[in-house]
Amino acid sequence: MLEFIKEISRAAGEIIKQGYYKDSVNTEHKGSVDLVTDIDLASEKYLISRIRERFPTDSILAEEKPDLTSSGRVWIIDPLDGTTNFAHRFPNFAVSIGLEIEGVLKYGVVYQPITDEMFWAELGKGAFLNSKQIQVSQTAKLSQSLIGTGFPYDRWEHGEAYGKDFIKVMRSCQGIRRAGAAAIDLCYLASGRLDGFFEQKLKPWDLAAGSLIIIEAGGKITGYKQEDWDIYQSKTVASNGLIHAELCQKL
């Protein structure tokens, strides 16, 4: 199963990479700042067709075309996480695939085609970047931490509220990075490139694969009040575990 997920992630990444180097991409607005491109749709069409070919009765929860059935297996797919980056030729975007079996996330793969980095995890077996096992950082203080974040699509309407959280954390940490692809942010946390992450209103396809990779790398993920977390809730905080309480306190 893991090898199949890696295979289709890499192939979808190749579709994205080819689109990235095209002279133009067809882009539509789903909202004021929420985009979809023909490459998102091509990647998703490919992934769904491969899954349907091999597992015709499985459910698929995908960003552009959810297809839920009564199956005990749910594929949670973002065919192109970081669409705005992609549309502007900012090279930070990925394919993200999580597989939930009987309500439990068992597999997660995030593939970044421009850097050819594949982050992956299987429940109980650790987290990896390509062939190397990864772990979260050992940074123990928020003041010495590099934190990732993002802003929801309704930021034009609620920017002041999101800005308050940003300022509180900014004043307490070494730096904040907003790179525009949550799945990659989570993997960078899992591999020690970031020490923490927070964001509101992420979707299950943003979170599924990356959350498992964080947990398998020794990290922690909860809600803002440190409540038990799942991929369907609205506020996400992740960290190396050592700065978790301090980061949540700021939020």
Question: Residue 23 — pLDDT band, cuts 50, 70, 90?
Answer: confident
Of 3.40.190.80, 3.30.70.260, 3.40.50.1970, 3.90.1150.10, which CATH number belongs to 142-250? 3.40.190.80
User: For residues 136 and 106, is the Cβ–Cβ distance under 8 A?
Assistant: no
In this prediction the pTM is: 0.93
Domains 2-133 and 142-250 share a fold: no
- Pick the closest to residue 193 from 107, 134, 112, 111 (CA basis): 134
User: For residues 243 and 142, is the Cβ–Cβ distance under 8 A?
Assistant: yes
- Summarised one tens digit per residue, pLDDT across range 146-178 is 999 998 766 567 678 788 999 999 999 999 999
Q: Where are the domains of the chain?
A: 2-133, 142-250
Residue 33 pLDDT exceeds 50: no
Question: Look-up: residue for tokens 């940003």?
Answer: 166
Share of the chain above pLDDT 70, in %: 89
CA atoms within 13 A on the CB side of 52: 13
What's the whole-number mean pLDDT along residues 89-117? 97
Beta bridge partners of 96: 78, 110
Q: What is the pLDDT of residue 208?
A: 96
- Mean pLDDT check: name the lowest of 64-68, 93-97, 133-137, 243-247: 64-68
Q: What is the pLDDT of residue 232?
A: 87
CATH homologous superfamily for the domain 2-133: Fructose-1,6-Bisphosphatase, subunit A, domain 1 (3.30.540.10)
- Mean pLDDT check: name the lowest of 6-10, 18-22, 61-65: 61-65
Question: Residue 69 — pLDDT band, cuts 50, 70, 90?
Answer: low
Q: What is the mean pLDDT of the chain?
A: 91
